[in-house]
Amino acid sequence: MPDRTRSDYDLCVVGAGPAGLNATVTAGERGLRVALVDVGVQPGGQYWRHPDERFPDTLPQPSATRRHGWREYRDLDARLDALVRGGRVVHLAGRHVWGVHPGRPFLVRATAAGEDADPVVVHARRIVLATGAYDRQLPVPGWTTPGVMAAGGVQALLAGHHVRAGRRVVVAGTGPFLLSVAAGLAEAGAEVVAVCEANALTGWAAHPLRTLQEPGKLVEGAGYVTTLLRHRVPFRTRTVITAVHGTGRVTGATLRRVDRRGRARAGSEERVDADLVALGWGFIPQLELAVGVGAATRVDVDGSLVAVVDDDQRSSVSGVYLAGEVTGVGGAVQSGAEGALAGLTAAADAGRADDPRLRARLRRRIARAHRFAVAMHRASSVPVDWPTWLADDTLVCRCEEVDTGTVRAAVRDLAADDPRDVRVTARPGMGMCQGRMCGFALSCLVSVETAVTPAAADLASLATRPLATPVRLAELAEMADGEEG
Amino acid sequence: MIDDSTRQLCFDGRNVPFRPGQSVGAALAAAGISSWRTTRVGAAPRGLFCGIGVCYDCLVTVDGRRSQRACMTPAHEGQVVASDDPRRALDEPGGPNA
Amino acid sequence: MTFRGPAPDAVIVGAGMLGAAVAYFAAAAGMSVIVVERGSIASGTTSRCEGNLLLSDKEVGPELELAHYSQYVWRGELAEHADLWEFEAKGGLVAAASEAQRAGLDALAEHQRSLGIRAEPVEGPAALREIEPAIAPHLLGGVYYPEDAQVQPVLAAHHLLRLARERGAEVRTHLPVTGIRIVGGRAVGVNTPDGAIDAGAVVVCAGPWSGDVARLAGVDLPIRPRRGFVLVTEPIPVTIRHKVYSAEYVENVASSDSGLQVSPVVEGTPSGTVLIGSSRERVGFDAGFSAEAVGRIASAAARLFPVLADVQVMRTYSGFRPYSPDHLPVIGEDARMPGLWHAAGHEGAGIGLSVGTGRLLVQAMRHATPDVSLLPFRPHRFADADAA
């Protein structure tokens, strides 16, 4: 058996998006030996996803003039590269960390994410978890039809593979991310039939001062709007998709106007033809590793479970630092600053020189970005009455094919009275994705039935995944052989 | 399109072009193929959904290995990709795909 | 809120499988009951186990008698509801890896047959693979137990409580018991944050936490947690048809070792997943991940079924078996505290034994002679032993 153990790291950073990259280079440049473990074959995470750099001739790379923050990515990537060449940092790409376990003091276990990497076990004194987020989804009749995708997935195909997943597209949900996806599709030649924003546009404009304090965001947003205007993409507020049509492949969608709570307005039905529907309702932090190490959690303003950090990005668990969306969805700028601060703190806690001016600057940047994020979350909230769009036979859990009626019956007939209870009784969230797709929706549905708002403990129970990704039985068996000895 | 380096993989007996660096899922999507798995209960078609390795809806058999995420698996020349069939028996160890 | 109206005949502490079974039989017998549960229904050990209804791992004596009686209840009085909890008479297969194990299994089977258990010898690897085609070829033979069965324990608990509610029982979840009310040396009810609940009897069905509840009444009940891990695979086509385990399992069930013991137990489920156990260790209520336990279970299971080596495990969970020093449950009224009843401590067999336990306990509460003697299960027997 190959030696899979990587020993004696001062720090292991999990995730190579804006937060993880910043943490890695900040700590590495201060002299820590860092292992950076990431699912991607190359750094960047979801935000800086780009085509495989090994094939620049077939899949052109982004340019600084056309991609927001690209110059920053190139800078971070160069610094990472220098640290790797200097032997301070090892970049373990293409590995999915499935567990962070106690052991001198931490063992980070990762399995191959694609097919080209070996599993690894990293021993490290400190850990930065920068595991990012994925699209939040709400079920809607027809959402399991092929051709319905997460908005982030549509973006990933465009940005990472130059693939447009459809020709006629409806983009729906809430939040400014939808604009970015729609703009990307339009530029790639897709016909964007509509961008449906569930909330009122006035929501975003209600906090102009906060927006102005975050000028980067404003420029970014203005760029998307310009693109959408140029392509004459209809932007509809207070509009949602209440049904997706087609068997075997999407053929269209029904749009409805909704009120503030998300209730469909009578007579507002409109059917549009489309072969791709992109849905996004904000983001859900990937919290299972943080929950797994026992980090304290709370419910954020957007209803997501997030992990608690102090002003220096320390979690409630000694030696574990958190950065990026896991502390609350805030976007790339906030994530990057949190990553740098986590790296700086980890280095200082390891006895390296602190940099109080940098620390203060990062804290200010985080605070400013956080204020903006809170305003954005308030303006882009999930309408509370969204469950009224569901039929009893609408699937909630895509993996185990559990429908809305079954979830409701678990509460009404079997007295299951919290999300975990419904999960083990009716099986939503018990399939391969382990409740990542349906967990939020499930907690909403149970909350409607029980009239109890989900608490952090309920959401943490849904986010408890001892295996953060599936692992082959034979690979688990290697733990019995003392290979980490 | 700029490239002249298009390669092919084989999906359920059909040649599907891809460009180096793309995933199996991207190649299938670019070819207009939107589903390659049927569900156990409803026998419903599924393909890409989250696109970033989280939802496990795009599972496909790649070179005999079951349950691979199409969105996470790099495409290779000559790769044999087959729709995932929930009823197909597991291969015996030591068999052709071991 | 307070509880008004006439005091119920019994307040049951715990809405796991045992509490559900007691509530069901009490309500069916016309008793009025309130079930009080600090979490949700089946939120403890019941949702962290495999739902075994086994005869194969029983050796002799009172537990076997209780197992037989429970099988009679599952397949008799409760048969009409079997589909609700996915009752599956899948049969159990115990496999031997060595001649010594095989001789041991044969001897056990012969003894079990004399007690009325159906235990059919499986002669040789070919016969083994006829029953379970994917089993490892190095196994030498074993014993087949056609009566071994399985239920989905979470569904069983929920449905038994639903049936009890239809017969007038009340179930209060997310309500912890903070005290046991004692008047004149007799347990007469429980205290909760929502007020006191007086009742004719207090029945402790709190699984591995039963000792903590009993302590509220000043009674020592030596029930301790014995942790076990289960691995759950991705859904796969039907590959494993029975509950299959190795000969060491029977030894481990009966042992009292506090260190980690692992023996493979593998079975398919109606949802396509394969459940893989088992481990036993006494580490208190530590629910943390154990690489050693999970690794050794995985390794043992892959030796039993090599075909599983490349199958992906999608989750693991751990649970706490309510372990008692002599491996027998506590069932009946506590002689040290009249009015305080127990139904707990079934270790890894609680789901299977629950319905027999519930039925017998209710017979005793109604002053009838139980169909099976509860004397070996008397809750104060450990105190007797200390005194002796």
Q: CATH number of the domain at B4-83, out of 3.40.50.2000, 2.30.30.90, 3.40.50.300, 3.10.20.30?
A: 3.10.20.30
Contacting residues of A for C161, CB less than 8 Å apart: 415
Shortest distance between the Cα of B89 and any Cα of chain C, in A, equals 6
The per-residue pLDDT for range A237-285, each reduced to its tens digit, is 999 999 999 999 999 999 999 999 999 999 999 999 999 999 999 999 9
Binary contact (C298, A413; C-beta < 8 A): no
Per-residue pLDDT, A485: 40
Return residues 322-361 of C near A (CB < 8 Å): none
SS3 C368: coil
Per-residue pLDDT, C134: 96
Shortest distance between the Cα of B50 and any Cα of chain C, in A, equals 18
Binary contact (C307, B91; C-beta < 8 A): yes
Binary contact (C298, A417; C-beta < 8 A): no
- What's the pLDDT band for B1 if we cut at 50, 70, 90? very low
Binary contact (A156, B59; C-beta < 8 A): no
- What's the pLDDT band for B88 if we cut at 50, 70, 90? confident
- H/E stretch holding C107 reads helix C99-114
Question: Superfamily assignment of C92-146+224-322 in CATH?
Answer: D-Amino Acid Oxidase, subunit A, domain 2 (3.30.9.10)
Binary contact (B46, A163; C-beta < 8 A): no
Shortest distance between the Cα of B77 and any Cα of chain A, in A, equals 14
Binary contact (C41, A417; C-beta < 8 A): yes
Contacting residues of A for B26, CB less than 8 Å apart: 157, 160-161, 163
**Would you call A242 exposed, middle or buried from its count of C-beta atoms within 10 A (0-12, 13-18, 19+)?**
buried
Structure token digits, residue A302: 């957007």
Question: Would the pTM of this model clear 0.90, i.e. be above it?
Answer: yes
Identity of the residue numbered B13? G
ipTM of predicted complex: 0.94
- Are C131 and C139 in contact by the 8 Å Cβ rule? The answer is no
Contacting residues of B for A163, CB less than 8 Å apart: 22, 26, 29-30
Higher pLDDT, A3 or B74: B74
Per-residue pLDDT, A1: 43
Binary contact (B72, A114; C-beta < 8 A): yes
Per-residue pLDDT, C1: 45
- What's the pLDDT band for C298 if we cut at 50, 70, 90? very high
Annotate chain A with three-state secondary structure: CCCCEEEEEEEEEECCCHHHHHHHHHHHHCCCCEEEECCCCCCCCCCCCCCCCCCCCCCCCCCCCCCCCHHHHHHHHHHHHHHHHCCCEEEECCEEEEEEEECCCEEEEEEECCCCCCCEEEEEEEEEECCCEEECCCCCCCCCCCCEEEHHHHHHHHHHHCCCCCCEEEEEEECCHHHHHHHHHHHCCCEEEEEEECCCCHHHHCCHHHHHCCHHHHHHHHHHHHHHHHCCCCEEECEEEEEEECCCCCCEEEEEEECCCCCECCCCCEEEECCEEEEEECEEECCHHHHHCCCCEEECCCCCEEECCCCCCECCCCCEEECHHHHCCCCHHHHHHHHHHHHHHHHHHCCCCCCHHHHHHHHHHHHHHHHHHHHHHHHCCCCCCHHHHCCCCCEEECCCCEEHHHHHHHHHCCCCCCHHHHHHHHCCCCCCCCCCCCHHHHHHHHHHHHCCCCCHHHHHHHCCCCCCCCEEHHHHHHHHHCCCC
Mean pLDDT of C30-57: 95
Closest CB to A432 among C159, C234, C294: C234
The per-residue pLDDT for range C196-242, each reduced to its tens digit, is 999 999 999 999 999 999 999 999 999 999 999 999 999 999 999 99
Q: Where are the domains of chain B?
A: 4-83
Please list, in sequence order, all residues whose beta carbon lies within 8 angstroms of the beta carbon of residue A260, skipping any fewer than 6 positions away.
Answer: A200, A238, A383
Closest CB to A417 among C40, C288, C295: C40
**Does position B98 have pLDDT exceeding 50, yes or no?**
no
Mean pLDDT of B70-97: 81
- What's the pLDDT band for B2 if we cut at 50, 70, 90? very low
Mutate which of C310, C311, C312 to test chain B, going by most B C-beta atoms within 10 A? Answer: C310
| CATH assignment, C10-50+153-222+327-387 | 3.50.50.60
Range in A9-18, A115-124, A179-188 with the lowest mean pLDDT: A115-124
Cα separation, C189 vs C3, in Å, equals 12
Q: Does C307 touch chain B (CB under 8 A)?
A: yes
Closest CB to B86 among C134, C237, C239: C237
Q: Where are the domains of chain C?
A: 10-50+153-222+327-387, 92-146+224-322
Mean pLDDT of A81-86: 98
Binary contact (B48, A401; C-beta < 8 A): no
CA C189, distance to chain mean position in Å, is: 26
